[in-house]
Amino acid sequence: MRRVVVTGLGVVSPVGLTTDETWTNLLAGVSGAGPITKFDASNQQVRFACEVKGFDPLVYIDRKEARRFDLYAQYAIAASHQAVTQAGLDLGAPDMNRVGVVLGSGIGGMQTFEDNCRIFIEKGPDRVSPFFVPMFIANMAPGLVSMRYGMRGPNFATVSACASSAHAIGEGYRMIRDGIADAMVTGGSEAAITGLTVAAFANMKAMSTRNDDPQAASRPFDVDRDGFVLGDGGAAVVLESLEHAEARGATIIGEVMGYGLSGDAYHMSAPAPEGEGAQRAMRMCLGDNGIDPARVGYINAHGTSTPLGDIAETQAVKAVFGEHARNLVFGSTKSMTGHLLGGAGALEFVVALLAARTGDIPPTINNVRPDPECDLDCAPNVRVKRDVDIAMSNGFGFGGHNATLAVRAT
């Protein structure tokens, strides 16, 4: 089995349009939440979200493509472009048949879906866009990225709700580790801040309703949390075999150390009691390369700010790490970015890697009244400095999908 390294990072998030901007704002505790501007939310129960601000697709694609690519795909292309550019992969991969793309999205082109449903009902079937299907389907993002760079290796999408892009990175890692590919562009994106999505999650009672104070709404591990805050954006990473990266003189940023995945087989939306499925994913991740749990200094929690989820994940970490759970930082950057759904895992993997590289750990903001049942160190409200040997990231999705990734700096 080959070692797998990271050579490129790309981010489009509610707190920044690049990796550096996002990282700077996360360390500063900046919230991306605010009133919804993408549509008229005045009749909604929830009228705020973590939108991406100032994104210009024409930086990455032309006007015709911008009309034909849903926003989720535009985010994926932008993040992938940043990652590929940093890695120099488009200029330095000798065999593009062995370079692939795996990107995850929990929903795909939701705005495209809504728009065309409205057209179908109001104007009839002949007015539905011929681009509806390719704009909507969740696998189009990796397809578009592969076409852009001529990457002819493994190409597919992962769709596992909020674990989608964590699974994508894990599967990209496996492809390289097992010799199927030499390099992979992987990660994920979401653009689900739409009227229908907000209404649906609100009616599930899954989202915070703090319309009067959006920036305080996402509060993982706080006793007053009342649900997640919806976010948009995406992230991508370039993974390569160590040999491939060294042969082309790439700068190595980090190394993927493990990947674990499991299913709860329990409930459509609630986590298994005591995070049993999450426990198995974390143990599998640690066992992938025989990682001593004591080497883990930071876990980027799934930490959505939901009453059940935060407790179950805390219980899972305690069960897996024992007494060491008290020594590590178990924080949630969703307190600032909101929940990117299928894009969350990739963004948080990037955060985990940067924490390992720099020793800086972003705060969990809005942790004003810590829940006694969520009593691990989440770096409440202020960034902390720690030596982090290995960092981990958790991603869990509706349907009981669990994925955990481990990474170290190089």
370 in any annotated domain:
yes
Catalytic residue among 162, 285, 374, 378: 162
- Residue 308: pLDDT above 80? yes
**Burial code of 301-340, b = ≥16 C-beta within 10 A, e = fewer?**
bbbbbbeebbbbbbbbbbbbbeebbeebbbbbbbbbbbbb
Between vectors from CA 400 to CA 399 and to CA 402, what angle results, nearest 5°?
A: 130
- Residue 376: pLDDT above 80? yes
392 in any annotated domain:
yes
Average of per-residue pLDDT across 396-400: 96
The 10s digit of each residue's pLDDT in 265-291 is 999 999 999 999 999 999 999 999 999
Which of 247, 274, 308 is at the close of a domain? 247
Instruction: Assess whether 40 and 142 both reside in one domain.
Output: yes
- Residue 91 dihedral angles phi and psi, to the nearest 5°: -105, -15
List the beta bridge partners of residue 10. 236
Which of 209, 227, 247 is at the close of a domain? 247
The 10s digit of each residue's pLDDT in 158-181 is 999 999 999 999 999 999 999 999
DSSP label at 28? Answer: T
Q: Number of structural domains, the chain?
A: 2
Mean pLDDT score across all residues of the chain: 97
Which of 217, 247, 277 is at the close of a domain? 247
The 10s digit of each residue's pLDDT in 9-32 is 999 999 999 999 999 999 999 999
* Percentage of the residues of the chain whose pLDDT score is greater than 70: 99
Specify whether the CB–CB gap between 41 and 194 falls below 8 A.
no
208 in any annotated domain:
yes
Q: 211 burial class (0-12, 13-18, 19+ CB within 10 angstroms)?
A: middle
- Residue 186: pLDDT above 70? yes
- Residue 66: pLDDT above 80? yes
**What is the band of 157 on the pLDDT scale with cuts at 50, 70, 90?**
very high
Specify whether the CB–CB gap between 250 and 240 falls below 8 A.
yes
252 in any annotated domain:
no
- Report the alpha-carbon distance of residue 55 to residue 65 in Å, rounded: 15
* Angle (deg, nearest 10), helices 110-123 and 195-203: 100
Instruction: Assess whether 184 and 44 both reside in one domain.
Output: yes
Instruction: Assess whether 342 and 287 both reside in one domain.
Output: yes
- Residue 366: pLDDT above 70? yes
The DSSP string of 92-158 is H-S-GGGEEEEEE-SS--HHHHHHHHHHHHHH-GGGS-TTHHHHH-TTHHHHHHHHHHT--S-EEEE
The pLDDT assigned to 145 comes to 98
Instruction: Assess whether 265 and 241 both reside in one domain.
Output: no
**What is the band of 149 on the pLDDT scale with cuts at 50, 70, 90?**
very high
The pLDDT assigned to 315 comes to 98
**What is the band of 92 on the pLDDT scale with cuts at 50, 70, 90?**
low
313 in any annotated domain:
yes
- The SS3 of residue 216 is helix
The pLDDT assigned to 93 comes to 66
253 in any annotated domain:
no
The pLDDT assigned to 89 comes to 87
DSSP label at 44? Answer: S
The pLDDT assigned to 90 comes to 75
- Name, in order, each residue with C-beta under 8 angstroms of 45's C-beta and a sequence gap of 6 or more: 199, 202, 203, 209
Instruction: Assess whether 232 and 322 both reside in one domain.
Output: no
Instruction: Assess whether 305 and 225 both reside in one domain.
Output: no
The pLDDT assigned to 87 comes to 96
- Report the alpha-carbon distance of residue 344 to residue 200 in Å, rounded: 19
- Residue 387: pLDDT above 90? yes
Instruction: Assess whether 242 and 279 both reside in one domain.
Output: no
Instruction: Assess whether 121 and 217 both reside in one domain.
Output: yes
- Report the alpha-carbon distance of residue 378 to residue 365 in Å, rounded: 9
The 10s digit of each residue's pLDDT in 254-272 is 999 999 999 999 999 999 9
CATH number at 208 reads 3.40.47.10
The pLDDT assigned to 1 comes to 83
Is 302 catalytic? The answer is yes
The residue among 279, 310, 282, 321 whose CA lies nearest residue 375 is 310
Instruction: Assess whether 48 and 154 both reside in one domain.
Output: yes
Average of per-residue pLDDT across 203-216: 98
The domain of 112 spans 4-247
Specify whether the CB–CB gap between 235 and 350 falls below 8 A.
yes
**What is the band of 94 on the pLDDT scale with cuts at 50, 70, 90?**
confident
Catalytic residue among 81, 244, 302, 401: 302
272 in any annotated domain:
yes
Instruction: Assess whether 169 and 26 both reside in one domain.
Output: yes
Query: Whole-model pTM?
Result: 0.97
Instruction: Assess whether 146 and 280 both reside in one domain.
Output: no
Catalytic residue among 339, 374, 378, 401: 339
Average of per-residue pLDDT across 330-349: 98
- Report the alpha-carbon distance of residue 310 to residue 275 in Å, rounded: 10
Specify whether the CB–CB gap between 142 and 157 falls below 8 A.
yes
Instruction: Locate 179 and state its tokens.
Output: 């010799």
The residue among 52, 51, 48 whose CA lies nearest residue 35 is 48
Given its phi and psi angles, is residue 154 left (phi above 0), alpha (psi -120 to 50 degrees) or beta? Answer: beta
**What is the band of 233 on the pLDDT scale with cuts at 50, 70, 90?**
very high
Instruction: Assess whether 221 and 339 both reside in one domain.
Output: no
